[in-house]
Chain A
Amino acid sequence: MASGSERILEVRDLVKHFPLTQGIVFKKQIGAIKAVDGVSFDLNRGETLGIVGESGCGKSTLAKVLMALERPTSGSVVINGRDIAKAKGGELKRMRRNIQMVMQDPYTSLNPRMTVGDIIGEPYEIHTDVAPKGDRRKRVQDLLEVVGLNPDHINRYPHQFSGGQRQRIGIARGLALQPEIIVCDEPVSALDVSIQAQVINLLERLQNEFNLAYIFIAHDLSVVRHISDRVGVMYLGKFVELGKDAEIYDRPAHPYTQALLSAVPVPDPEGREQRERIILQGDPPSPANPPSGCRFRTRCWKAQEICAEEEPLLQIRPGTTHESACHFAETHDVVHVS
């Protein structure tokens, strides 16, 4: 739960375009993939913002830009008053201590040639002033304990662990520098169903213990609802809807959110014949050439002329209590969760 309302992350008008080029030596730009195209949000200390959307919507690129792994084309990512998107060298390195990440695939995110101790201890080798040398081994063992692994396993290699245990190692590495923000990019989607709950519980416990703020990116909508205080729905590089978890799930206002929620299979066969199902036609358009006006209009059943002409802004619309980007926003409970 959000404790207080101290704002630690401010993202404003974030844009990331990947140029499409032709030629090898003399490159000519022939277009751009508009992966993230104007995203703004805030994050408070101890809060979780869930980000949902389908593949290609730009959520992973957003994570990379937040982590300063990619420079944004424009816009700012302000952490505790300083813009990480413009930071360089030593300042950037210092700022990284405040924002860390947990990655999706526990099999590729750990260097197979390093021991668990080296993997979790690497943050201290990079940021030498965080922990004195003699202290590091102890700290790594403490971290292993915190994430529920046996501290005696410090000299093992990643392949000696199961997927869920590897994900715990990745989480321990993310915690080492005591960040305030952790970006979780699909942290449980590669895990077996019976293991996912264990890792989600761990993430929640760590959040309470260390007052962490999470950006929680996932495509599993029920998991996002469980862990998030607020949720943003992304489509083709933009937020189409942003609000508290109950607002998004019980009173979605944007047609895309409604379609997305109705497409999620409900794990209960009762009444499945009567269930309302909005099946979208076709595939999302290419982010290299998004539709004019509203980007969702090509698949939207509500689309009118205005949708092609005027881009709907993300704002609170009449009859709704949270921000949505649709000219015809109207809340509609599609899931009927009792």
Chain B
Amino acid sequence: MSNPTPPVGPGLPETQTLIPDTTTAPGKEKESKQGKQGKPASLWTDAWYDLRRRPMFIISVIIILVLLVMSFWPSLFSSIDPYNARTCDLSTARQGPSPGHLFGRDNLGCDVYARTIYGARNSIVIGVFTTLVTTLIGGLLGIIAGFRGGMVDTISSRVTEIFFAIPSILGALLIAATFRGRYNSILLVIIALSVLGWPMVYRIMRAAVITAKNQDFVVAARALGAGAGRIMFRHLLPNSLAPVIVVATINLGTFIAAEAALSFLGVGVQSPDISWGLMIADARNRFLEAPLPLVFPAVFLSITVLAFIMMGDAVRDALDPKLR
């Protein structure tokens, strides 16, 4: 190659001596444009932008918000308190809709509308707490197994597979039936569903952690001397959370459905507590002559479950553009 002398042409005064601090300037220059330019935003900002434009997401969020308000302040929706036995009147059993009793009355002459509204709370409480417990257990085990690898991973994954192999509704039925009456029925449902509900979260978390673990920033943290705890909770967890949140949202819906199934089978929520599953069970014998006491809680149940699954789906699509 020829041996070029440093260029000294006209109009080229100080180019040869570019000192590094001049590179600060473009940084500042960039800053002024930051507002205008569509830099690749972070995962969550991007997802949020995407979600706001999905009708499916908007609808499900509205439904869920209404349900939440309903379960915390049911009296906003119904002037009748169904937990007060005096609001029931056996002589009006199975009466159709009438002013003040929009959904009619059930087998015991209680107001179906009020009971449906008040039933939301137990469904939501059970769904939320079961989701919390399973996400914590599955997530923690998953992050440890994924990070440690080797023997820890092998053993915990085999154990998880055993739990996975048990049909969850059957297992929950067994647990709930065995301990029935010994504990608060709502607590028991949460436990029964949690025992078999965590393996899904475990799998998702473990897979996400294994992907994140091989990223360079984790290697960089190890090179700095970061301990296991710091790597797991400061680096791996925040980068593995997205798929877990998706699956937890979908799970919430399925747990609510499972609660209804258990209650329907008589091992879930017990009277005098109110739950949609229980209401469906109570109404089923007289379904042909009085369908409304069954239809209303069933419709509410379906909409609730659907709302959570729809929201989970929307979040998944927003977080994972590859699936679009």
Contact = CB atoms under 8 A, between A and B. Distances in A.
Interface string A184-228: 000000000000001001100100000000000000000000000
Contacts of B20: 147-148, 198, 201-202, 205
Contacts of A160: 34, 39
Contacts of B23: 148-149, 164, 198
Interface stretch (A72-80, A119-127, A231-239, A242-250): A119-127
Contacts of B52: none
Given A101-B220, A105-B216, A112 B43 contact: yes
Contact of B154 (A25, A147, A165): A25
A179 B118 CA distance: 64
A157 B28 contact: no
Given A108-B215, A108-B216, A108-B217, A69 B223 contact: yes
B24 A173 contact: no
What is the interface of chain A mostly: helix, strand, loop, or mixed? loop
Interface in A8-39: 24-25
A150 B28 contact: yes
A92 B225 contact: yes
Interface string B188-226: 000000000000000000000000000111011111111
A103 B1 contact: no
B18 interface: yes
Contact of B226 (A110, A114, A122, A147): A122
Nearest to B241: A113
Interface string A136-150: 000000000101111
Contacts of A101: 220, 223
B27 interface: yes
B217 A109 contact: yes
A319 interface: no
The size bracket of the interface on A is: 35 or more
Contact of A150 (B18, B27, B220): B27
Nearest to B158: A25
B91 interface: no
Nearest to B219: A69
A147 B23 CA distance: 9
Contacts of B226: 122, 126
Given A92-B225, A198-B20, A173 B27 contact: no
Contacts of B30: 162
A159 B40 contact: yes
17 contacts: A25-B154, A67-B223, A96-B223, A109-B216, A109-B217, A109-B219, A111-B235, A112-B43, A113-B238, A122-B234, A150-B31, A153-B31, A157-B42, A159-B42, A198-B18, A201-B18, A338-B3
Interface of B: 1-3, 18, 20-21, 23-24, 27-28, 30-31, 34, 39-43, 154, 215-217, 219-227, 230, 234-235, 238-239
**Nearest 7 pairs between A and B by C-beta?**
A109-B216, A113-B238, A93-B225, A108-B216, A111-B217, A148-B20, A96-B225
